[in-house]
């Protein structure tokens, strides 16, 4: 896609869709229907991605193999269940910028966050503080609060929450670095969201990691809104750990299996504590059923139980599409599609709309967080009634995500027409 400027006409949107090298992938997803029988304008992939049509085939394969083999499916199923978690490592490592041994698919996001903090939040009398964003996703705040209390500390004294400057919506990287440096002697862990769920801001993970390490702290990220959305290079950025879910941009279904990253420098550290379970045990001796734990020499060592195959299968189906397309092509379209949506929103003839997501493509993924003056939840319900599926976040933000795998420029154009109509009707 090579464009120098956008236009507001429908002909431009249709032309862009015609030139889109990824346009065929839209047909590989089920688009929810509006009540008039037309396709909804689905911009909620930052909350729950759409179902790939190939998921049914993958799930049916596992059901057939369970029916055919029973317990022997662990060895003889088309995708043998015994090593099932291993089928994800290659494709997922390319999406997050890691070595295969540094990633593992397991559990759910907040469970994985707790498991990682068992290993990487080890407070001492001197170092006991954690830094997060004040506007972090609530589950992250609950998790770090409870970990602090578990270790006998008080969150009111041990938790540092990053806040934007007065009158600003997003955080400045230099302010984050300054807070890290200011608390360096007492800082144990930096743990923030890679892309903030509310504003859509994509943080400079490399600079944050360098700043944390410079003062002797460990650094981890919740990448729920980043994986499959923005370019990541977790290994080379020297991040200690990361966790994420797969039901947003990775389109793996509600409550889907989650993922985790542990940098290779930690994988063979005999002093690192972790909660242990038998699927983290060395697979070469796992079935000798010994009573001493011998960890896998990979992120797999953080596993507790064997693979929940039916929960993992949709991710296997989704990764087939991601591997075929590649993150570079996805990110290229995402950058243009999001910029087009921003352009169209700002060309609505009104001063009631503002976008709190950063303008620079390097500082955001495909989500735009929109504020509408005097646009309370009734306004959101009005655009919903006209076929828009977006996301409302209190007190006054509408989150929209033009996902490059299945959203089109025409989707964006039609969304803008709905916004225009509802703005007129809500004066």
The pair of three-digit structure tokens given for residue 66, joined into one six-digit string: 């369970």
Tell me the per-residue pLDDT of 405-419, one tens digit each, with 9 for 90 and over: 999 999 999 999 999
Which among 268, 298, 323 is the end of a domain? 323
Tell me the per-residue pLDDT of 326-338, one tens digit each, with 9 for 90 and over: 999 999 999 999 9
Return the CATH number at 398: 3.90.1150.10
134 and 239 in one domain?
A: yes
365 and 311 in one domain?
A: no
Tell me the per-residue pLDDT of 308-326, one tens digit each, with 9 for 90 and over: 999 999 999 999 999 999 9
- Please report, rounded to a whole number, the percentage of residues in the chain having pLDDT higher than 70: 99
What is the extent of the structural domain holding 350?
Answer: 10-52+327-425
Tell me the per-residue pLDDT of 63-111, one tens digit each, with 9 for 90 and over: 999 999 999 999 999 999 999 999 999 999 999 999 999 999 999 999 9
What pTM value is reported for the model? 0.96
Residue 64 lies in a domain: no
Res 381: pLDDT: 94
Each residue of 256-290: b (16+ CB within 10 Å) or e? bbbbbbbbeebbeeeeeebeebebbbeeeebeeee
370 and 229 in one domain?
A: no
Q: Which residues, including other chains, have CB under 8 Å from residue 11's CB and lie 6 or more apart? A: none
- Please report, rounded to a whole number, the percentage of residues in the chain having pLDDT higher than 90: 92
- Quickly state the pLDDT bin for 349 (edges 50, 70, 90): confident
Q: Which residues, including other chains, have CB under 8 Å from residue 45's CB and lie 6 or more apart? A: 248, 249, 251, 366, 401, 403, 406, 407
Gap between the Cα atoms of 80 and 388, Å rounded: 41
Kindly list the distances between the CA atom of residue 256 and the CA atoms of 37, 102, 346, in Å, as whole numbers in the listed order: 28, 20, 35
96 and 139 in one domain?
A: yes
The CA-based diameter of the chain, rounded to the nearest angstrom, is 72
Question: What is the number of residues in the chain?
Answer: 427
Tell me the per-residue pLDDT of 189-219, one tens digit each, with 9 for 90 and over: 999 999 999 999 999 999 999 999 999 999 9
The domain tally of the chain equals 2
Tell me the per-residue pLDDT of 17-50, one tens digit each, with 9 for 90 and over: 999 999 999 999 999 999 888 999 999 999 999 9
Residue 228 lies in a domain: yes
Residue 168 lies in a domain: yes
Rg value, the chain, Cα: 23
Whether the per-residue pLDDT at 1 is higher than 70: the answer is no
Residue 309 lies in a domain: yes
Average pLDDT over every residue of 359-382: 92
């Amino acid at each position: 896609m090579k464009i120098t400027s956008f236009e507001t006409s429908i002909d431009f949107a249709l032309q862009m869709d015609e030139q889109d090298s990824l346009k065929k992938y839209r047909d590989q997803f089920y688009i929810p229907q509006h009540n008039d029988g037309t396709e909804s304008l689905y911009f909620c992939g930052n909350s729950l991605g759409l179902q790939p049509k190939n998921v049914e085939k993958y799930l049916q394969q596992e059901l057939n193999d369970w029916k055919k083999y029973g317990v022997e499916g662990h060895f003889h199923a088309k995708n043998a269940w015994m090593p099932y978690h291993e089928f994800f490592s290659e494709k997922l490592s390319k999406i997050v910028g890691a070595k295969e041994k540094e990633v593992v698919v397991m559990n759910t996001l907040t469970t994985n966050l707790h498991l990682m903090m068992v290993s990487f939040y080890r407070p001492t009398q001197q170092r006991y503080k954690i830094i997060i964003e004040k506007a972090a996703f609530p589950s992250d705040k609950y998790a770090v609060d409870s970990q602090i209390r578990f270790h006998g500390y008080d969150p009111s004294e041990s938790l540092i929450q990053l806040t934007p400057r007065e009158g600003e919506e997003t955080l400045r990287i230099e302010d984050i670095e300054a807070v890290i440096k200011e608390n360096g002697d007492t800082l144990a862990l930096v743990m923030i969201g890679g892309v903030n769920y509310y504003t859509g801001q994509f943080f400079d993970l490399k600079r944050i990691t360098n700043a944390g390490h410079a003062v002797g702290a460990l650094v981890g990220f919740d990448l729920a809104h980043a994986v499959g959305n923005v370019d990541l290079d977790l290994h080379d950025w020297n991040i200690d750990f990361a966790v994420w879910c797969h039901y947003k941009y990775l389109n793996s279904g509600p409550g889907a299996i989650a993922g985790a990253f542990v940098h290779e420098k930690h994988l063979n550290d005999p002093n690192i504590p972790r909660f242990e379970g038998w699927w983290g045990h060395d697979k070469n001796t796992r079935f000798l059923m010994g009573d001493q734990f011998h960890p896998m020499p990979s992120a797999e060592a953080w596993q507790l139980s064997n693979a929940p195959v039916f929960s993992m299968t949709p991710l296997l189906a989704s990764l087939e599409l991601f591997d075929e397309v590649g993150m570079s092509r996805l990110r290229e379209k995402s950058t243009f599609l999001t910029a087009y949506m921003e352009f169209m929103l700002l060309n609505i003839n009104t001063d009631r709309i503002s976008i709190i997501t950063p303008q620079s493509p390097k500082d955001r993924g495909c989500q735009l967080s929109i504020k509408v003056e005097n646009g309370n939840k009734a306004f959101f319900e009005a655009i919903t009634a006209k076929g828009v599926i977006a996301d409302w976040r209190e007190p006054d933000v509408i989150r929209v995500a033009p996902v490059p795998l299945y959203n089109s420029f025409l989707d964006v154009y039609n969304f803008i027409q709905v916004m225009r109509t509802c703005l007129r009707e809500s004066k």
